[in-house]
Amino acid sequence: MKVSVFDGGDMRFIYLKKLLQDDGFEIDDKAENIILPLPLNESAFRQFDFFSKLCNRDLNGTKIFGGCVCEAIRDHFEKLGADVYDYMQSESVLRFNASLTVEAALCIGTEKSDCGYIGSHCLITGFGRIGMRLCSALRSLGANVTVAVRNFDKFPIIESAGAIACDINKLPSLNEFDFIFNTVPSVVITETIPSECTAIELASKDGFANMQNVILARGLPGKYSPLSAAKAIHISVLDYLKGED
């Protein structure tokens, strides 16, 4: 089977080409199975010239794979006759990326702080895929963890993990924490971060009203673990293609 992989300089997709070749796929720029980098949004559309090349092709019957596909791009390709599959909607990819994000976030915290995690006081805002794994990892490293959420139903789960649960609208003083990790893609922290605290933004949109003293850390799997991230996308694409056979 032939497949096109447009890497856009992203190491994940350079590795993905190799993984697909190892599976016996032939890399061909004119193939009907096309894998595009992420995020697949209007900014990327303007940035990379391969999009204009695609738009000049007959895409009827073509399968396009992209990550975090925005509705405008999806509509555009579907009007040209392509089927669009978002590999970042795969639960297995999302979980795997969450684990890779946590690994990288912990590395960043260690690099940027003079404080180790053991005995430290950490605040996590949000308890989704990343927040849950981050809580578990920090507790295993001996940190004292507070998790702030909106949904009070999550309190028992947080507390059973050995952490303190609190209302995200009533945060403790930030001076109490050595590390703050935000995983919520909306503003939840309005105070200025104390200079001695290491604050890391992991969400897709700012969770801090004031980004002073905040480390912006998005897209970590692609930056810190591109081969592992490529393997997750590889499995998702293969599962889709096998289901089409």
pLDDT tens profile 41-52: 888 777 777 777
200 - beta bridge partners? 181, 215
Backbone φ and ψ for 237, nearest 5 degrees, come out as -65, -45
How is residue 93 written in tokens?
Answer: 């990819």
Q: Where are the domains positioned within the chain?
A: 2-89, 102-218
Phi, psi of 243 (to 5 degrees): -70, -20
> Is the backbone peptide bond immediately before 39 cis, with ω within 30 degrees of 0?
yes
Per residue, the 3-state secondary structure of 162-211, as one string, reads CCEEEECCCCCCHHHCCEEEECCCCCCECCCCCCCCEEEECCCCCCECCC
Residue 183, classified by CB atoms within 10 Å of its CB into exposed (0-12), middle (13-18) or buried (19+), is: buried
**CATH label, 102-218, candidates 3.30.465.10, 3.40.50.300, 3.40.50.720, 3.30.60.50:** 3.40.50.720
- 40 pLDDT band (50/70/90 cuts)? confident
244 pLDDT band, cuts 50/70/90, is low
User: Model-level pTM?
Assistant: 0.89
